[in-house]
Amino acid sequence: MVRPIVDDLRRGSSAWPVPIADFPPVPLVPSRPLTRSEKGNRVAANDRYRMIHSLGEGNYAQVFKAAHRASTAEVAFKRAKQFRDARDRIKREIEAQKQLAHPNIMPISDHDETYNWYAMPLALGSLADLRSTLADDDLETILLDVASGLKVAHEQRLIHRDISPGNIFAMPTGTGSRKRWLVGDWGMVKQPPDVASRPLTKTGARMGTPGFDAPELDVDPSAATPAADVFSLGRIAAWFVSGKPAHSAFPPLPDGDFIHWRPFVRACTDPEVGLRVQTMDALHELLIQVPENRDVPLLLQAARLIEELLYGESENLGALISLAETYPNDLALYIDYVARIPSSQLPAWTVKNPERAASVASVMARHLLAGPWDDRDPEYASTPLTFVLTVMRSLVDMQALGPAQDVASYYFPADAHRGDTGQRARTLEWLAELDDAAARPISRMIAPKPELVEYYREPGWHPASVVLQAVLTPPPPSADAAGNAGPLANRTTAVVE
Ligand SMILES: Nc1ncnc2c1ncn2[C@@H]1O[C@H](COP(=O)(O)OP(=O)(O)OP(=O)(O)O)[C@@H](O)[C@H]1O
Position 173 scores a pLDDT of: 83
Is 363 a residue whose pLDDT tops 80? Answer: yes
Position 279 scores a pLDDT of: 95
Better pLDDT: 124 or 494: 124
CA of 166 to the centre of ligand 1 (A): 7
Position 480 scores a pLDDT of: 52
Report the share of the chain in percent with pLDDT over 70: 83
Query: Which one of 51, 52, 53, 63 would you pick to mutate in the ligand 1 pocket, going by the greatest count of ligand atoms within 8 A of its CB?
Result: 63
**What are the residues facing 77 on neighbouring strands?**
64, 119
Ligand 1 atom with least separation from CA of 164: 26
pLDDT classification of 494: cutoffs 50, 70, 90: very low
d(CA 57, CA 92): 18
Kindly report the average pLDDT of the chain as a whole number: 84
> Which tens digit of pLDDT belongs to each residue from 188-208?
999 887 765 666 654 445 667
Q: What average pLDDT does the segment 248-271 reach?
A: 81
Strand order from edge to edge, sheet including 61-68: 49-57, 61-68, 74-80, 117-121, 110-111
CA of 268 to the centre of ligand 1 (A): 26
pLDDT classification of 481: cutoffs 50, 70, 90: very low
CA of 486 to the centre of ligand 1 (A): 82
Ligand 1 atom with least separation from CA of 106: 1
Q: What is the 3-state secondary structure (H, E, C) of the chain?
A: CCCCHHHHHHHCCCCCCCCHHHCCCCCCCCCCCCCHHHHHHHHHHHHHEEEEEEEEECCCEEEEEEEECCCCCEEEEEEECCCHHHHHHHHHHHHHHHHCCCCCECCCCEECCCCCEEEEECCCEEHHHHHHHCCCCHHHHHHHHHHHHHHHHHHCCCECCCCCHHHEEEEECCCCCCEEEEECCHHHCECCCCCCCCCCCCCCCCCCCCCCCCCHHHHCHHHCCHHHHHHHHHHHHHHHHHCCCCCCCCCCCCCHHHHHHHHHHHHHCCCCHHHCCCCHHHHHHHHHHHHHHHHCCHHHHHHHHHHHHHCCCCCHHHHHHHHHHHCCCCHHHHHHHHHHCCCCCHHHHHHHCHHHHHHHHHHHHHHHHHCCCCCCCHHHHHHHHHHHHHHHHHHHHCCCHHHHHHHHHHHHHHHHHHCCHHHHHHHHHHHHHCCHHHHHHHHCCCCCCHHHHHHHCCCCCCCCCHHHHHHHCCCCCCCCCCCCCHHHCCHHHHHHC
Report the share of the chain in percent with pLDDT over 90: 61
Position 319 scores a pLDDT of: 85
CA of 242 to the centre of ligand 1 (A): 24
pLDDT classification of 314: cutoffs 50, 70, 90: confident
Position 274 scores a pLDDT of: 86
Residues with CB under 6 A from ligand 1: 55-61, 63, 76, 120, 122-123, 126, 166, 169, 184-185, 187
CA-nearest residue for atom 24, ligand 1, is 58
Greatest mean pLDDT among 131-145, 239-253, 467-481: 131-145
Better pLDDT: 403 or 176: 403
Position 262 scores a pLDDT of: 86
Position 258 scores a pLDDT of: 85
* CA-atom Rg of the chain in angstroms: 31
pLDDT classification of 355: cutoffs 50, 70, 90: very high
CA-nearest residue for atom 28, ligand 1, is 56
Is 460 a residue whose pLDDT tops 90? Answer: no
> Which tens digit of pLDDT belongs to each residue from 279-295?
999 999 989 988 877 77
Q: What average pLDDT does the segment 457-482 reach?
A: 80
CA of 57 to the centre of ligand 1 (A): 7
CA-nearest residue for atom 16, ligand 1, is 58
CA of 392 to the centre of ligand 1 (A): 50
**182 φ, ψ to 5°?**
-120, 140
Q: What average pLDDT does the segment 471-494 reach?
A: 54
> Which tens digit of pLDDT belongs to each residue from 214-225?
999 988 888 899
| Binding site members for ATP | 78
pLDDT classification of 83: cutoffs 50, 70, 90: confident
Ligand 1 atom with least separation from CA of 56: 13
pTM beyond 0.90: no
